[in-house]
Amino acid sequence: MKSRHIIAALLLLAAVPACKSSYEALLESNDTEAKYAAAFDFFNQGKYSKSAQLFESLAVITNGTARDDTVQYYWGLSNYRAKDYFTAETNFSNFIAQFPRSPFAESAEFLRLDCLFRSTLRYELDQSPTYKCITAISEYLMNHPDSEYRSVCYHMLDDLEERLDKKAFESAYLYYKIEDYKAARVALRNVLKDDSDNRYREDILYYTAMASYNYARMSVRNKQKERFLVFYDDYFNFIGEFPESPKRPELDNLYAKTKEKY
């Protein structure tokens, strides 16, 4: 930034009445050059909230000029650095739509993804933002297969997919915790029906077997034999996939104990 523009901004700040802050006066000023210089000065000092307000004010003045994309990009970047990810995501979305050929375009696309990622919620809460973010990342990778941000995007996807896997497992496991074993087995099996690659597959198969065992154990006597046969199926499914699991000995003991009776 040219030093004379920064000097002009400082002179403008010095000239304002004491009743109005120098920053407020600059914000209301029509001196584009002074405001532009000051916006970058605040940005470089790490005063991102102030630079965001100045870039927002400049966006009206520079609309349609050669500086338009620079001002719009740094407006979003200021909000991003200020950790206002909701506003920054809106900034970058608008930027991408208006300036698809700008030198800042790919960076804006990635930063939008990062804003979406940072706005997602922990697995216990609503996962709509997670699905939105996964879709956006997938589209970005399709459009930019050689992006320098590719590895970061895959890391984000892994984190988001793990969150969805955990939510699916925990939602089904809740039935087990409240000892509704029949519902637990159905819910756990449905998790794998919907997503056979769920990364909690070992736990899901283990609790499926435990649910069927407990359901059979708590049944009336004339229903137990039939229901323990279901447990045997679940037991063999588990040990077939996870023969070395630390959970196996417990299931082995339950299987051996029930086989003595039925």
pLDDT of residue 14: 54
| pTM exceeding the 0.85 threshold for the entire prediction | no
Radius of gyration of the chain (CA): 29
Dihedral, CA of residue 97, residue 98, residue 100 and residue 102, to nearest 10: -140
Q: What residues does each domain of the chain span?
A: 1-112
SS3 1: coil
- Residue 15 contacts by C-beta under 8 Å, 6 or more apart in sequence? none
The whole-number pLDDT of residue 21 equals 80
Q: How do the residues of the chain divide into helix, strand and coil, expressed in percent and rounded to 5?
A: 75, 0, 25
Of 3.40.50.170, 3.40.720.10, 1.25.40.10, 3.30.300.180, the CATH number of 1-112 is: 1.25.40.10
pLDDT at 12: 54
For the stretch 28-85, pLDDT in tens is 888 899 999 999 999 999 999 999 999 999 999 999 999 999 999 999 999 999 999 9
In tens digits, the chain (262 residues) has pLDDT values of: 455 555 555 555 555 444 468 888 888 888 899 999 999 999 999 999 999 999 999 999 999 999 999 999 999 999 999 999 999 999 999 999 999 999 999 999 999 999 999 999 999 899 999 999 999 999 999 999 999 999 999 999 999 999 999 999 999 999 999 999 999 999 999 999 999 999 999 999 999 999 999 999 999 999 999 999 999 999 999 999 999 999 999 999 999 999 877 7
| CB 76 within 8 Å of CB 95 | yes
The Cα-based distances of 105 to 76, 83, 93, 111, 250 in angstroms read 12, 20, 10, 10, 56
